[in-house]
Structure 1
Amino acid sequence: MTVLIVTGTGTEIGKTVVTAAVAAAALARGRTVAVLKPAQTGLGPGEPGDAAEAARLAGQVTAVELARFPEPLAPATAARRAGLTPVTPGEVAEAAEKLATEHDLVLVEGAGGLLVRFDGAGGTLADAARLLRAPVLVVAPAGLGTLNATALTCEALRARELDPLGVVVGSWPAAPDLAARCNLVDLPEAAGAPLLGALPQGIGALAPERFRAGVADWLAPELDGHWDAAGFGAEFDAG
């Protein structure tokens, strides 16, 4: 796995922290890592974006941002309103392929959900994934409503002949409610893909050293950790 696409079922659900955790786990195994953010929205010049935040938490990561638009909107909309040139799936794929010649792992973090538009032609992160023939990691929230959104995301992937690598819960609460506990069992069924991790809520605020020390506890072996879905579910009596 040279390129891994990180998408989500929506916005503000932990994609950047999951990207950072996957990067940190790979670095701990001695791999070189790049994080590519195709389109950063909602930030002005000089403000640290998602790629920079992933690098801050993970460590020695090459952080690349292809385009930035000031308003916190979908990339295509933000580019249009700013009068700027949008990024296209082809440009995303080209940048990821170049980084893959120089790194063991390239993480491509999308904006919002899988089918958020990058450009006026309707290009999406899914289109970039198809061009790259890359696996896709789906980040989902823990609670009520996540099953439908996760199922729709994975169904959209398979409709494009893309298989989800798995699902990671982007923010696992300290005191999970009934829906969250049951979702540990139901998410893999809804996704048709394994549950590959659960990141504790608020870990993005940890000091980088503490963050890096914990990543193996939050991610499954497929993502260079030792987290076990069955054991984690048993801990919370999921069922």
Structure 2
Amino acid sequence: MTIIVVTGTGTEIGKTIVTAALAATATPRSVAVLKPAQTGVGKGEVGDVEEVLRLSGATTGAELGRFPEPLAPSTSARRAGLPPVTPADVADAARKLAEEHDLVLVEGAGGLLVRFDEHGGTLADAARLLNAPVLVVAPAGLGTLNSTALTAEALRARGIEQLGVVVGSWPEEPDLAARCNLADLPTVAEAPLLGAVPAGAGALGPEEFRAAAPGWLAPELGGTWDAAKFTAEFAAAPPA
């Protein structure tokens, strides 16, 4: 794989930190990080690309559009009077980066079907243009099964490969729903569970983050994380 698209089942669930873990685990391979549309961040402020580069040690990053209000990219672009990013823009930029890098990570904004432009273009459209697999980042707790199933269904309907699911923020003290979801997520997604990034991982220093990242991701993503072992460790026993 030379291009991986990273999407989420919603917002604020750990896509950026998972992307950073992927980039950190991929080193010393040459990695580029592409953020098609950064919203809710003003000019001169640190965006997701900068955060991924800081944590992972990757050196190449690109951002196609930056829109100040924390809204869907198409809405934020329209309100700012700025041209939107289109799926074709994303595909062109990713292909150019792939010419000079071993791996390109494309981090979406929000979920898979959030609108990029006034024509309804989405991250799914960009993934289809690229013929690139999609990694889904999901939250750990109650409600995640439905949103994960819907995302997986949307990918299958478009003929897009789903690599698997990574839990974007695994709590230090997981509740019953989170523990049960470890077994249920791969079932509803019809794709493997490929990692769990601990809550607060983004607060680690770069060296500590890079050393720990392979332990959060499965071998399919270059790491050492064992889904069966992790799931068994937190398995919820049924009531007596």
| Normalised TM-score (structure 1) | 0.98
Alignment of 1:1-239 (within 5 A): 1-27=1-27, 30-238=28-236
Structure 1 residue runs of 4 or more that deviate by more than 6 Å after TM superposition: none
C-alpha contact (below 8 Å) 2:23/2:31 kept by paired residues:
yes
* Alpha-carbon displacement from aligned partner over 1:17-36 (angstroms, at most 9, x marks no partner): 00000000001xx2100000
Pairwise CA distance, 1:235? 1.1
Distance 2:232 2:152 in 1: 25
- Give ranges in structure 2 of 5+ residues lacking alignment: none
C-alpha contact (below 8 Å) 1:130/1:162 kept by paired residues:
yes
CA root-mean-square deviation: 0.7
**Structure 2 residue identity aligned to 1:236:** F
**Structure 2 residue identity aligned to 1:4:** I
Q: Secondary structure at the match of 1:112?
A: strand
Pairwise CA distance, 1:61? 2.8
Distance 1:157 1:234 in 2: 29
Pairwise CA distance, 1:237? 2.1
Pairwise CA distance, 1:238? 4.2
C-alpha contact (below 8 Å) 1:185/1:238 kept by paired residues:
no
C-alpha contact (below 8 Å) 2:23/2:58 kept by paired residues:
no
Pairwise CA distance, 1:77? 0.1
C-alpha contact (below 8 Å) 1:23/1:61 kept by paired residues:
no
* Alpha-carbon displacement from aligned partner over 1:14-55 (angstroms, at most 9, x marks no partner): 00000000000001xx21000000000011111111011000
| Normalised TM-score (structure 2) | 0.98
Distance 2:236 2:56 in 1: 30
The 3 A distance-change label for structure 1 pair 224 and 4 is same
Q: Secondary structure at the match of 1:198?
A: strand
Q: Secondary structure at the match of 1:34?
A: strand
Q: Secondary structure at the match of 2:97?
A: helix
* Alpha-carbon displacement from aligned partner over 1:91-127 (angstroms, at most 9, x marks no partner): 0000000000000000000000000000000000000
| Number of residue pairs matched by the alignment | 237
C-alpha contact (below 8 Å) 1:42/1:69 kept by paired residues:
yes
- Give ranges in structure 1 of 5+ residues lacking alignment: none
C-alpha contact (below 8 Å) 2:138/2:168 kept by paired residues:
yes
